Amino acid sequence: MASKPVSDFKCQPNGENTPRRVSGSGRSCRYQSESESDGGPTAKSLAQLCSRDEDERAAALEELSQEVLLCLGSARQGSARLSKQTLLHLLRLSRSCPLQEVRGRATELLRTAQDQGVDVPRALASGPSAFIPAKEMLKEGPNQKVLIESFLSLGRVDHITMVMALHPSYLSCFLRTQHALLELDGPLPRHWRHYIALMAAARHHCSYLVQQHSAGFLEAGGEESWLSGLERAPTKLRSLQTLNKLLAHRPWLITQQHIQELVCPGADPPWSLAELIHAVVLMAHAHSLSSFVWGCGLNPEPDHIGGYTFEPPSPSHLPRSPHSPAHEDGRQELVDGAMEVEVLMKRMVELQQQEEECTQEEMVTRFERERSESIPTAVVRGAPPDLVLCLVEEPEFRYEDFAPRGEQAPPTMRAQDYSWEDHGFSLVNRLLPDMGQLLDEKFQVVSYLTYHRMAMHEGVDTYTLRKALWNYIHCLYGIRYDDYDYGSVNVLLERSLKVFVKTLACHPEQTTARVYHACWRHFRHSEKVHANLIVMEARLQAALLYTLRAITHYMR
């Protein structure tokens, strides 16, 4: 079961006479449609670049360069023949392809083109993430095998994959889940899935995901006009808006009525429960992934808007676009952070031994304090690009801090009364077979993921810290564990970290480099990515739990 959904990701015989994979041919159609104006068979060779057969790959690379050179040679107005798409593909390959020979050749071709007087695009970003220096990425080095594998099966290595590849065990189950959500059999048509995902990503102004899913949407045969605004999409999709909004910002408000409105036969046109679950998982997935994208400061892909420029580089002025994360260097304030780590470790050890008893009152207060503590997250950013804005209804609806205790605080959800393990899983698996299993696996991988090290220390049990992070996020979403002492959140998570986590979980679009760099200053980047993963999954689970509970109540 585990490896079935992405058998093409996991393993494929590398035999000489392996027939070209189906997905490969599917991809070739995609490129065909994308680069129609190309008029050339470039698409085919591009698709074959991710063949598992080395010879075939080499042949495809040869063919590709022949074609490009032919284009350059045959026409004096080279740029007329060499379309923008092809150039962008070459750019992307030269930047992100994990295969050395492809990368080298693509760079070479681009340079040749430039020599011929073609306007050649240039990637703006120097690496997948604006927060993590590209050099560090290489140093902490995701292993190349993982990247090559995902290049071969997905056709490209996007920035998400590159950053997640710092945690390969998580990456594989993440890709499997995403593949199952977007590509495998399911109640929703494929272009709808992408559309729902981009609707969801738009709520967090995540133009990275919006662009990625727009491409997926068009590729799956979606109608281009839908992308220009929500009002062009079918009513059925638009009816998801309320749920999308709540799910993104205040999932605790989702009730049985919301489900009923969508599902009951009176609704026009009604959703089936299976479709609805599929859509909910898609939306929650996209929301939490937006958190990750913002939290890791992912740069736009080289072929995304804002990821490239045709202008020559000017030394004085770095062009910035609203699509890439704000760049503030927060690293200068690197003061004796080493002390911080020591203190944190001591506290962790203390916590594990501590037998301090506190009253119920106190426990409740601690939970409430964490939940309603005001963490200033609002660094107001410029308005999101139109590309995204046209896909959002009520953009002013945001996460709202829980009111201090007493005043109409929404009821807390008790984790013991509705948990993923006992309840959520069964419901998802019932309505969307296999999805429960995949999500469950992902949650488990995240909760067990550890390298037994912290900053410069090895052999540390980070369980309490991970638990505190997870529970803190759930606490921000109003989920309370009876058996957890929220005092330890306060002890373990210093304020700058809380700012980071809360921004990520609740206002991901406001994440800045300053926030990223301010916390955990001596930690490795991969550890911060790890924290990002915890935030992402905890957020996903919280949102799912609320919706699933509402669905359970509806089904009752």
Partner 1 sequence: MEKMSRVTTALSSNTISGRTMFCHLDAPANAISVCRDATQVVVAGRNIFKIYGLEEEQFVEKLNLRVGRKPSLNFSCADVMWHQMEENLLATAATNGAVVTWNLGKPSRNKQDQLFTEHKRTVNKVCFHPTEVYMLLSGSQDGFMKCFDLRKKESVSTFSGQSESVRDVQFSMKDYFTFAASFENGNVQLWDIRRPDRYERMFTAHTGPVFCCDWHPDDRGWLATGGRDKMVKVWDMTTNRAKEIYCVQTIASVARVKWRPERKFHLATCSMMVDHNIYVWDIRRPFIPFATFEEHKDVTTGIVWRHQHDPHFLLSGSKDSTLYQHMFKDATRPVDKANPEGLCFGLLGDLAFAAKESLISSDANRKPYPGGDRRYPIFFFKKPDPTEQFAHVSSALSVFETDLDSNRMDWFVKTAQLYLLSGKPFAELCDHNAKVARELKRPQVSTTWTMLRIMFSDPANLTAQGPNHNLSKLGTLPLMNSFSMKEMGSGMGTESRLERSKGDSRQDNIHLEPGNSHISNNNEENEETEGSDGQAEYMFGDAELDDDDLYSVEHDNQAEEQEYTLPQEAFQLRHEIMDNPSAPEHLQQDKADSPHVSGNEAEVTCLTPIESFSLISISQPLYSPHLPASFFCPIVREMLSYYAEQGDVQMAVSVLIVLGDRIRKEIDDLTQEHWYMSYIDLLQRFELWNVSNEVIKLSTCSAITCLNQTSTTLHINCSNCKRPMSNKGWICDRCHQCASVCAVCHHVVKGLFVWCQGCSHGGHLEHMMNWLKSSAHCPAGCGHLCEYT
> Can you tell me which of 386, 421, 456, 457 binds partner 1, judged by CB under 8 A?
421
Closer residue to partner 1 (CB): 198 or 479: 479
356: contact with partner 1 by CB under 8 A: no
Helices in 314-415 by DSSP H: which ranges? 337-353, 360-372, 386-389
Stretch touching partner 1 by CB under 8 A, among 16-24, 137-145, 201-209, 548-556: 548-556
> Can you tell me which of 97, 110, 201, 427 binds partner 1, judged by CB under 8 A?
427
What is the distance between the alpha carbons of residues 208 and 300, in angstroms, rounded to a whole number? 6
Least separation in angstroms between residue 523's CB and partner 1 is 25
Least separation in angstroms between residue 360's CB and partner 1 is 4
17: exposed, middle or buried (C-beta count within 10 Å: 0-12, 13-18, 19+)? exposed
What is the distance between the alpha carbons of residues 508 and 251, in angstroms, rounded to a whole number? 15
Stretch touching partner 1 by CB under 8 A, among 100-108, 225-233, 403-411, 426-434: 426-434
Tell me how many degrees the CA angle 322-323-327 measures, rounded to the nearest 5.
70
430: contact with partner 1 by CB under 8 A: yes
> Can you tell me which of 223, 311, 362, 417 binds partner 1, judged by CB under 8 A?
417
What is the distance between the alpha carbons of residues 500 and 474, in angstroms, rounded to a whole number? 15
441-445 long-range Cβ contacts below 8 angstroms, 24+ apart: 441/2, 441/173, 441/177, 442/170, 442/173, 442/174, 442/177, 442/537, 443/537, 443/541, 445/169, 445/170, 445/173
Least separation in angstroms between residue 385's CB and partner 1 is 43
Least separation in angstroms between residue 357's CB and partner 1 is 7
Closer residue to partner 1 (CB): 320 or 414: 414
Identity (one letter) of the amino acid at 378?
A
Expressed in percent and rounded to 5, the helix, strand and coil fractions of the chain are 60, 5, 35
416: contact with partner 1 by CB under 8 A: yes
Least separation in angstroms between residue 426's CB and partner 1 is 4
- Measuring CA to CA, how many Å separate 17 from each of 11, 27, 533? 16, 20, 40
Closer residue to partner 1 (CB): 477 or 554: 554
Buried-exposed string 245-267: b where 16+ CB fall within 10 A, e elsewhere: bbbbbbbbbbeeebbeebbeeee
Stretch touching partner 1 by CB under 8 A, among 133-141, 170-178, 393-401, 477-485: 477-485
Instruction: Indicate which residue of 50, 71, 173, 206 is catalytic.
Output: 206
414: contact with partner 1 by CB under 8 A: yes
> Can you tell me which of 215, 274, 363, 409 binds partner 1, judged by CB under 8 A?
363
Contact 475, 503 (CB under 8 A): no
426: contact with partner 1 by CB under 8 A: yes
405: contact with partner 1 by CB under 8 A: no
555: contact with partner 1 by CB under 8 A: yes
DSSP β-bridge partners for residue 457 = 454
Is residue 480 classed as helix, strand or coil in its secondary structure? strand
Q: Which candidate, 426, 540, 521, places its Cα nearest to that of 170?
A: 540
Stretch touching partner 1 by CB under 8 A, among 127-135, 185-193, 399-407, 418-426: 418-426
| Known catalytic membership, residue 206 | yes
Site mask for partner 1 (CB under 8 A), range 147-176, x = bound: ------------------------------
62: contact with partner 1 by CB under 8 A: no
Is residue 6 classed as helix, strand or coil in its secondary structure? coil
What is the distance between the alpha carbons of residues 178 and 300, in angstroms, rounded to a whole number? 20
482: contact with partner 1 by CB under 8 A: yes
Closer residue to partner 1 (CB): 176 or 467: 467
- CA-based Rg of the chain, rounded to a whole angstrom? 24
- Catalytic positions: 206
Binding site for partner 1 (CB under 8 A): 357, 359-361, 363, 414, 416-417, 421-423, 425-427, 430, 440, 482-484, 552, 555-556
